[in-house]
Amino acid sequence: MKRKNLRRIILFGSVVMMGLLVVQGFWLKRAFDIEDRQFNHTVQIALKNIADSIVAEDLAVKPTETHIRQLSSNFYFAELNVPIQPELLDNLLKKELGIRQIKADYELGIYKAKDDTLVYGSYIPATIQWQIDHANDPNPNTEKSNFAVYFPNKFSVIAGELKIWIFSTIILLLMVAFFIYAILTLLKERRLAEIKEDFIDNLTHEFKTPIANIELASEALKENKINPEKQHRYFNIIHSENQRLKVQVERVLQMGTIDTHELRLDLKVVNIHELIQRLAESIDMRIRDKTGMLNIELNAAHPEILADEFHLTNTVYNVLDNAEKYAKDWPKISISTRNEKEGLLISIKDAGIGIKDDFQKYVFDKFFRVPTGNIHNVKGFGLGLSYVKTVIEAHRGTVTLESELNHGSQFDIYLPFK
């Protein structure tokens, strides 16, 4: 899929999903407001009936003089200015709420009309003590009072009436989550496709060049007029290019084997200093040809560890090879060792082109190569550092990268003794 088409799909899908979320939120809010108004209306009617029933026994107060006020979203106040019996009020409240199918917990309070002092509260411990203290009063409830009802779980009750709306909202959120997951997967697949395309391009180049050289040398050998000196030269070309092909094929097959099978290590005691010295000898000539410099500081007091010598040699070589290939003008590479935390740390530092912060988290991914625009002077498959990480982790070690663009990179390889 073309990048332009992918962007259009993501943009269109995002607009659609955002529109659905806005519409769903609007209707959910509207449904909640309707249920809230209905709840308030029903409660006020119930409290009005209760108030009228209580004042009906008091001839001095007319039913029209009772007022029901909603002081907050879940707090209702009834002005009666008549004596109120707590037991009667509670029974009437239960009855009225039951008739109207309001299954909500409530807290009941009775207040003195003259100063709004709380004299009874169904959920207040002080009320119990007050009832005990006034149990023997001849006429304890002759004082004019008002009452209030508080619904602590009103929001939960209303939400319970919106089950279908909540369910549809959850389904929509799951759709949005799936859409985001699908887009992320699509972007990941697109990135993998680009990496594979780059890998195939590099693979084609790496194979075509030696094959073409072998073909030219073979054609030249067909001529009988070639002198022995040139003939020997062409034989050497065929041999070296064949070895080059073999190395490339082995590298690809090696990564394929690691992917499909657990890496098997042939563990034995390996002297890291000796290993580094051998690798330094093999790469030092290439560095000197570019007027570069290789600095070695072997400071580890205990350089011997239990490791697979073959894979570990390839690992250190891959890092050194990258340091030499990605140098600016002339390679400047330093290798150092030191003992650290029951193990050994190998640091390989270069003064090369460095790596952008955006790409550093991908450098150990298989097939990934840092983009260099239209410059293709450094060839490879993007397998080297992936192989490095696989081998080091198989040794229960770690490999980390510190890099700054245009200021070089440093790879730290930690290997435990056992």
Model pLDDT, residue 376: 44
**pLDDT tens by residue, 8-28:** 888 888 898 899 999 999 999
How far is residue 364's CA from residue 318's CA, in Å, rounded to a whole number? 12
E strand intervals along 73-219 = 75-82, 107-112, 118-121, 145-150
Where does 243-303 show beta strands of DSSP type E?
267-271, 293-298
d(CA 147, CA 52): 13
User: If you average pLDDT over residues 50-78, what whole number do you get?
Assistant: 80
What tokens appear for 299 in the block?
Answer: 């400071």
Q: How many CA atoms lie less than 13 Å away from 42 in the CB half-sphere?
A: 17
Amino acid letter for position 183: I
How far is it, in rounded angstroms, from Cα 323 to Cα 284? 12
CA distance 349 to 411: 6
Report the alpha-carbon angle 316-410-263, nearest 5: 35
Number of residues that make up the chain: 418
Q: Are 25 and 173 within 8 A, CB to CB?
A: no
Count of CA atoms in the C-beta half-sphere (13 A) of 348: 21
Contact 285, 326 (CB under 8 A): no
On the question of pLDDT at 184 being above 80, the answer is yes
Rounded Cα distance between 378 and 202, Å, is: 10
Are the C-beta atoms of residues 18 and 159 closer than 8 Å to each other? no
CA–CA separation, 69 vs 338, rounded Å? Answer: 80
> Per residue in 363-403, pLDDT tens?
887 767 666 544 445 555 566 788 888 889 989 999 999 98
| Contact (Cβ atoms closer than 8 angstroms) between residue 417 and residue 397 | no
| pLDDT given for residue 129 in this prediction | 55
Distance CA 409, CA 388 (A): 16
Check: CB of residue 367 under 8 Å from CB of residue 198. yes
Q: Please state, in angstroms and rounded to a whole number, the distance separating the CA atoms of residues 305 and 232.
A: 44
Tell me the two tokens of residue 155: 């929001």
The residue among 325 and 33 whose pLDDT is bigger is: 33
- Element of type H or E holding 162: none
CA 300, 303, 306 angle in degrees (round to 5)?
Answer: 140
Residue 367 phi, psi (nearest 5): 75, -5
Quick check: 187 pLDDT over 90?
no
C-alpha distances in Å from residue 257, one per residue of 102, 202, 261: 69, 20, 6
Cα 316 → chain centroid: 32
Question: Residue 216 has what pLDDT?
Answer: 80
pLDDT on residue 374: 41
Band (pLDDT 50/70/90 cuts) for residue 247 is: low
CB contact at 8 A, 66 and 48: yes
Please classify residue 315 by burial: count the beta carbons closer than 10 Å to its beta carbon, then call 0-12 exposed, 13-18 middle and 19+ buried: buried
pLDDT, residue 343, reads 92
Higher pLDDT, 118 or 205: 118
- Distances in Å between the Cα of 325 and the Cα atoms of 119, 199, 329 are 89, 18, 10
**pLDDT over 60 at 126, yes or no:** no
Q: How far apart are CA 116 and CA 143, in angstroms?
A: 12
Domains of the chain: 3-161 (no CATH), 164-260 (1.10.287.130), 267-416 (3.30.565.10)
Instruction: Pick the closest to residue 10 from 169, 173, 181 (CA basis).
Output: 181
Q: Tell me the CA distances in angstroms from 131 to 115, 362, 414, one per residue in order.
A: 20, 74, 77
**Structure tokens that stand for 223 in this block:** 């001529």
**Tokens found for residue 303:** 């350089």
Lowest model confidence (mean pLDDT) among 21-25, 109-113, 205-209: 205-209
pLDDT of residue 260: 46
